[in-house]
Amino acid sequence: MANIAQASREETASPLQHGLREAFYAGIIAFGLFFLFIGLKTDQNISNELVLVPRWGLLTIVVGLVMLGRFLYVAYAQPFMARQKIVDVASGLLPDSVATRFFRLPYFIGALVVAAVLLLFAGSLDGIFGSGLAGYLRFFRALAIIYALASVLFYFRAFIHNHFSALGVGVLIAYPIVVVLILALLTGSMAGGFQGSLKWVDNFGIQILIYVMLAWGLNIVVGLAGLLDLGYVAFYAVGAYAYALLATQLGWSFWILLPVAGIMAAFWGVILGFPVLRLRGDYLAIVTLAFGEIIRLVLINWREVTNGAAGISGIPKVSFFGLMSFNVSDPNYIAKVLGIAQSGAYYKIFLYYLILGLALLTAFVTIRLRRMPVGRAWEALREDEIACRSLGINTTTTKLTAFATGAMFGGFAGSFFAARQGFVSPESFVFLESAIILAIVVLGGMGSLVGIAVAAAVMIGGTEILREMEFLKHVFGPDFTPELYRMLLFGMAMVIVMLWKPRGFVGSREPTAFLHERKAVSSSFTKEGHG
Amino acid sequence: MTAKTLLDIKGVETYYGNIRALSGVDVAVNEGEIVALIGANGAGKSTLMMTIFGTPRARRGTITFAGTDITDMPTHEIARLRIAQSPEGRRIFPRMTVMENLQMGASLDNLKYYDEDVEKVFTLFPRLKERIGQRGGTLSGGEQQMLSIGRALMARPKLLLLDEPSLGLAPLIVKQIFDAIRELNRTQGLTVFLVEQNAFGALKLATRGYVMVNGVVTMSGTGKDLLADPEVRAAYLEGGRH
């Protein structure tokens, strides 16, 4: 085989030669991969004809970067790491050594100083250095801040690891307040703080939390019961349309329609559950995929009810439990009641806490259910269906409850989505959404709530933050739009995570019962003996 | 025998598609007995075990348990009649801990007798107590077998079905497990129906035995008689005691 020949050559080749050869191979592969992706671009000319725009310059830069990276990695980084490993083994520093070398107190102080100085002169950077260089400096400042934060996290890593859930919930609760306060300090006024917080609370906070909730809901079906569901977005759609239709037609309030939407979605979960009871694995995945598409096509084609592809607009906002409204024209508008300045941010912050509450409810129910007979039956079902049945567990009802429970949370999230957007159309419920939600569950580690929340934050927040990468325009030119590469990076990140942690961020399953807690699992939770 | 028949299998035929795996099997298990079913690979022993639980279903014949016809009953309802099984390949839940596996076994009564029963299982298999928080999949083969039997016992069965409890285990562990079965039968009067390749050990343990060849029962008798039978000796016992 080629491996043997290569191995014998490697013995004689110096790292430099080896690196050059590897760089050449990498260049060929990169050229083949990116020739169509980057080298050619389709565009429209003035008379609306499709034309090919070659981008040889960009292609050269990308291929060159790949070659350079591969060369540096093989010629310098690999030998360095190999040497370092030997040194570390000798000094007994492994495995923390790389991280401890990277995070050192002098560096931390340096990063703090850099960040502080650059923040102080934030206003006059453009004036002193010109806009191009200032862009780089802002990027450098961001790196310094990230490094400082990472150092703090690294220093307190044991504490964070032990109290992750509590800290996470605390951070999530404090998040909008902190954002508003920081922005208020930066802009010098409370109103500015609220106005600036819109983006951070809405695009990041709410967006991520919707996906956290959806992924936690899907986790019940996929992670716990082991039923691969590729059509989860259908329940999201059912919830969204249930709220959209009933609220616009009947004028019912969100607080009544939230449970209604959940029940409707759960009902559809059972409807889907019945035909797929006998299916497992691939076959189940195909049927659920089809189910998701059926719901979407019904929404598009049943124009009399759903208004087709045009969707439903003018969906009423959520009220503050009926006490205060978020419509400026209403007499009980929140700013009038509380006597504060008008701002759209109040509604967003309220929605943030609403979805946070809903997501935490999902987590709470999941945690409780796992300790109850029905939750244990779900997990046992995932492990071995035949063994489950021969222990007297009714696998039919067990599967149906999993589908119904998962779907119910999808329905809750859907009605929230409709209320937040004020508009729903079938376009929001395409297969890609199901795929993203499932990807988050798999990346986070099936069954692990913490892992899934982290995966959602990384994936959704990560792609959102690419919209903020203005400085990249200085590198790649003003036509460069980082958002366009979101899905590419999403995919790349997924491949990397799956190589690095094949079972997701949190791959090991947390046991539900411990010796000293045995009595906590009492029989009083359910009457029916199927769990 | 004056004892009443607990499990009565009459003329059972089971098919996998068009292939007939059981062609008219008659087996009876009386209350308080240990009955062993021996036979070569592919004789249909495990199929009979699974047929009792309704997966696959018997195409002809009847299976009665304590007077109830269970031939066409759903599997989980058969289990609720207090038939418990340690199936072929053990089928424990690998990612769940020993404790959770045992809890699953007790789910028929919603863990009502869990505390009491788990102590009994631990007296029988002290090893499981040491492994209580460990994942099922990380146990050794013998421990997994103990867990599989323990999990079945947690259901407070009237009849315990064991499919090859000695498969792949060291002789010492096999002895431990057989001793445990004898102990259960003697002290609690538990009725046991076991399928074995290890004919010598099984027949020594059993009150009565059946020999199965190609989907039919060809011979039956007390354990001692079968052990002494020259045909049985030639077919299953020569080549050394296990």
Whose CA is closest to A450, among A504, A487, A371?
A504
Same domain as A457, residue A312: yes
Could you tell me which chain A residue has the CA closest to the CA of B106?
A: A391
* pLDDT tens digits, B8-24: 999 999 999 999 999 99
Residue range of the domain that includes A267: 163-468+501-525
Chosen for mutation from B65, B76, B81 (greatest number of chain A CBs closer than 10 Å) is B76
Same domain as A516, residue A406: yes
Q: What is the pLDDT of residue B94?
A: 92
Same domain as A216, residue A325: yes
CA of B215, closest CA in chain A: separation in Å? 23
Among residues A94, A112, A134, the one where a domain terminates is A94
> How far is it, in rounded angstroms, from Cα B208 to Cα B225?
9
Is A514 part of the contact surface with chain B (CB cutoff 8 Å)?
yes
Confidence bin at A518 (pLDDT 50/70/90): very low
Do A379 and B105 lie within an 8 Å CB cutoff? no
Which of B91, B109, B135 comes nearest A387 by C-beta?
Answer: B91
Looking up tokens 């819109």 gives A198
pLDDT top residue among A508 and A241: A241
> How far is it, in rounded angstroms, from Cα A313 to Cα A245?
10
Q: What is the pLDDT of residue A297?
A: 95
CA distances from A499 to A74, A85, A492 (A): 19, 22, 11
Share of chain A above pLDDT 70, in %: 89
Same domain as A67, residue A186: no
Q: Decide if pLDDT at A526 tops 60.
A: no
Q: Decide if pLDDT at A94 tops 70.
A: no
Q: Is residue A520 part of a domain?
A: yes
Confidence bin at A135 (pLDDT 50/70/90): confident
Do A511 and B76 lie within an 8 Å CB cutoff? no
Q: What is the pLDDT of residue A95?
A: 57
Q: Where are the alpha helices (DSSP H) in B97-206?
A: 98-105, 114-124, 126-130, 141-153, 171-188, 199-205
Confidence bin at B26 (pLDDT 50/70/90): very high
Same domain as A414, residue A331: yes
Same domain as A175, residue A72: no
- Using a CB-CB cut-off of 8 Å, the residues of chain A touching B91 are 384, 386-387
Could you tell me which chain B residue has the CA closest to the CA of A519?
A: B115
Q: Is residue A378 part of a domain?
A: yes
> How far is it, in rounded angstroms, from Cα A197 to Cα A178?
10
CA A188, chain centre distance (Å): 32
Q: Decide if pLDDT at B158 tops 60.
A: yes
Q: Is residue A278 part of a domain?
A: yes
Q: Is residue A245 part of a domain?
A: yes
Question: Is A454 in contact with A167 (CB distance < 8 Å)?
Answer: no
* pLDDT tens digits, B55-106: 889 999 999 999 999 999 999 999 999 999 999 888 999 999 999 999 999 9
Mean pLDDT of chain B: 90
Do B104 and A394 lie within an 8 Å CB cutoff? no
Phi, psi for residue A288 in degrees, rounded to 5: -65, -35
Q: What is the pLDDT of residue A191?
A: 79
Confidence bin at A507 (pLDDT 50/70/90): confident
Is B108 part of the contact surface with chain A (CB cutoff 8 Å)?
yes
> How far is it, in rounded angstroms, from Cα A70 to Cα A27?
9
Same domain as A292, residue A438: yes
Phi, psi for residue A50 in degrees, rounded to 5: -80, 125
Whose CA is closest to A227, among A175, A287, A184?
A287
Question: Is A20 in contact with A10 (CB distance < 8 Å)?
Answer: no
Region of poorest pLDDT, from A136-140, A251-255, A421-425, B107-111: A136-140
Q: What is the pLDDT of residue A338?
A: 80
Could you tell me which chain B residue has the CA closest to the CA of A531?
A: B107
Among residues A75, A94, A113, the one where a domain terminates is A94
> What's A449's domain CATH number?
1.10.3470
* CA end-to-end span of chain B: 30
Same domain as A170, residue A73: no
Same domain as A168, residue A260: yes
Phi, psi for residue B156 in degrees, rounded to 5: 50, 60
Q: Calculate mean pLDDT across residues A327-337.
A: 79
Q: What is the pLDDT of residue B195?
A: 93
Portion 116-135 of B in contact with A at CB < 8 A:
132-133, 135
- Using a CB-CB cut-off of 8 Å, the residues of chain B touching A277 are none
DSSP SS3 for A470? coil
Could you tell me which chain A residue has the CA closest to the CA of B100?
A: A513
Domain count, chain A: 2
What DSSP string describes A491-529?
A: HHHHHHHHHH-TT-SS-SPPPS--GGGGGGS-GGG-SST
Domains and CATH numbers, chain B: 1-82+161-242 (3.40.50.300), 90-157 (no CATH)
Q: Which residues contact A213 (CB under 8 A, 6 or more apart)?
A: A355, A358, A359, A362, A409, A412, A413, A416
Among residues A60, A94, A128, the one where a domain terminates is A94
Which of A386, A509, A531 comes nearest B107 by C-beta?
Answer: A531
* pLDDT tens digits, B229-241: 888 888 887 654 4
Is B138 part of the contact surface with chain A (CB cutoff 8 Å)?
no
Positive/negative CA dihedral, A31, A32, A38, A44: positive
Same domain as A168, residue A59: no
Same domain as A321, residue A173: yes
Is B137 part of the contact surface with chain A (CB cutoff 8 Å)?
no
Confidence bin at A1 (pLDDT 50/70/90): very low
Same domain as A366, residue A270: yes
Q: Is residue A147 part of a domain?
A: no
Confidence bin at A111 (pLDDT 50/70/90): confident
Do A513 and B103 lie within an 8 Å CB cutoff? yes
In DSSP terms, which residues pair with B72 in a beta bridge? none
* pLDDT tens digits, A385-408: 989 999 999 999 999 999 999 999
Neighbours of A154 (CB within 10 A): 15
* pLDDT tens digits, A61-92: 989 999 999 999 988 888 888 887 777 777 66
Chosen for mutation from A371, A374, A386, A391 (greatest number of chain B CBs closer than 10 Å) is A391
Residue count of chain A, please give it: 531
Report the complex ipTM.
Answer: 0.89
Is A511 part of the contact surface with chain B (CB cutoff 8 Å)?
yes
* pLDDT tens digits, A303-318: 999 998 999 999 988 8
